[in-house]
Amino acid sequence: MSQKIGSQSVLTHDVTVVIPAYNEARRLPSLLAEFQSLLDSEPRLSLVIVDDGSELEHFQAIEAIVAGQVSAGRKMSLVRLLHNSGKGAALAKGFELAQTPFVGFIDADGSVPATEFMRLVCCLTQDPLVDAVLASRVKMLGIKVERKLLRHLMGRVFATAVSVLFDIAVYDSQCGCKIFRREAVMPLLPLIQSKGWLWDTQLMILLYVRGKNLIEVPVRWSEVPGSKVSLLWDPLRMLGELLLFRRHLLSPRQTDTRST
């Protein structure tokens, strides 16, 4: 498969990208504009935007953009949850709606460029032994990562906690860009406990403990103002969820299930 992205089709399989959105009328349009050219050159690519009970003005703004894209023949759809239920709930809905062999997601803020998502897709579809590709915010030559120091430190602490608690050598468990083989993840969705920020982290953990093959790929990432994550309360809440999830996985019933 060619690595050339943006000018001609590189996809040999159908791919769905889910974008969870809550009050994202200001940030999401830029990301959708990035995907516009990709949708024109990639007939196998489709977008599902799941609005997580946004305020009406935000929903209507995105609805108008999507309507214009659909009228232009692009494979883009918008689904609305009636109540704000959390990022995880929005992702679960989008994954359930996706019927393609590959399904992933990207955060609505546009911190990861659309072309980087496509690069992850190519890494997954090229290797039949890989079940998931996770974006990773690693500063290295050729990869530009712009992130405030405090958020970087908090992210490193939490990613280290995930690695230690679940014995997973993952560098960045929280980056909002991941792509999966649908057949590998769909049976696991009912086992995810979180409806919020930890949804994709718990999915990653479930894949790992069941022996699936996961890889991380460094991506360009730029922090975009307007984050809804509280640096005080959300990390504490997520750590509590993480500990409960670990206890759940270590319960005798779950251990027996993994060994069969």
Q: What is the pLDDT of residues 125-167, one digit of tens each?
A: 999 999 999 999 988 888 889 888 888 888 888 889 999 999 9
In degrees to the nearest 10, what's the CA dihedral of 36, 41, 44, 45? -20
The whole model's pTM is what? 0.89
Q: Residue 99: helix, strand or coil by DSSP?
A: coil
Domain count, the chain: 1
pLDDT greater at residue 241 or residue 182: 182
171 in any annotated domain: yes
The DSSP secondary-structure symbol of 54 reads -
CATH number for 41: 3.90.550.10
Element (H, E) at 135: strand 132-136
- What length does the chain have? 260
Mean pLDDT for the chain overall = 90
Model confidence at 260, pLDDT cuts 50, 70, 90, reads very low
* Least confident segment among 15-19, 38-42, 78-82, 245-249: 245-249
Look at residue 196 and tell me whether its pLDDT is greater than 80.
Answer: yes
The reply to whether 169 falls in a domain is yes
What share of the chain has pLDDT > 70, as a percent?
91
- The reply to whether 107 falls in a domain is yes
Residue 259 has pLDDT above 70, yes or no: no
Would you give the end-to-end CA distance of the chain in angstroms? 36
- pLDDT higher than threshold 90 for residue 236: no
Query: What residue numbers bound the domain in which 230 lies?
Result: 15-249
- Mean pLDDT (whole number) for 182-202: 95
Q: How far apart are CA 2 and CA 112, in angstroms?
A: 21
Q: Would residue 256 count as lying in a domain? A: no
User: What is the DSSP pairing of strand 221-222 with strand 145-146?
Assistant: parallel
| Residue 254 lies inside a defined structural domain of this protein | no
Residue 182: inside a domain, yes or no?
Answer: yes
